[in-house]
Structure 1
């Protein structure tokens, strides 16, 4: 599918650690796959910032840090899935592979173990973005 240059997808990245947010941005780059439009990033360091951003709309994917404090991305992911109609796909970063059951509890659509593997993160994000945008234009602001 060809994309025009003015199309973008918005990825919300939540972590209290700016280095984690930077790792996610670096791993995903301008586009995680050739068949997807370029990405815009919306970085959030607090839960209220995430909730405000999602209330405004236009987010195509949420990447949440499961190790964030004081509110971890796993609990936040569950809250988003429970409270937001049409919630964007949620990808959580978990501390270790054994925490995958927590990712399932959080209702995350995908989970990636830390340290972040750029290839695995890009593949998971691309899959979720494709499913989000299948048959429709990217979310608008």
Structure 2
């Protein structure tokens, strides 16, 4: 049986979480596993899910409140052992340097472009799960 990848999507905005799910779909590329999503609207929920384990990639909303995705990314990179790769949704191209500070592996501009998001997510899944498919 083929492995399923688990993607954590963090945003306080239910519409942003939905945009991510719909943009990437069940399989962001043919050569990566099907994806299951875990949605989180708060930082404590993100930390709880990561502590449980089994998350392959995180997609964090840089504009989330009160805990923005950039700060959340920096925190989980410091606190979570073997932290999964992070795709950060940024509002402006000028925010890319902050994404570097936060140690995110990839960025995509918000509002989400389905092609950009699927490509970035698939790339992170390939790095995390090189022989999953």
**TM-score, normalization: structure 1?**
0.91
C-alpha deviations, 1:71-108, integer Å up to 9, x for none? 00000000011111110000100011111001001000
Residues in 1 aligned to 2:109 and 2:24: alpha-carbon distance in whole angstroms: 15
Q: Which runs of 5+ in 1 are unaligned?
A: none
SS in 2 for 1:112: strand
C-alpha deviations, 1:3-53, integer Å up to 9, x for none? x44x20000000000000000000010100001111100000000000000
Aligned length: 133
Return the match for 2:93 from 91, 97, 100. Answer: 97
Aligned match of 2:29: 33
Return the match for 1:67 from 46, 53, 63. Answer: 63
**TM-score, normalization: structure 2?**
0.96
SS in 2 for 1:103: helix
Aligned match of 2:120: 124
Residues in 1 aligned to 2:111 and 2:93: alpha-carbon distance in whole angstroms: 11
Residues 1:84 and 2:108 aligned together: no
Residues in 2 aligned to 1:9 and 1:81: alpha-carbon distance in whole angstroms: 20
Q: Which runs of 5+ in 2 are unaligned?
A: none
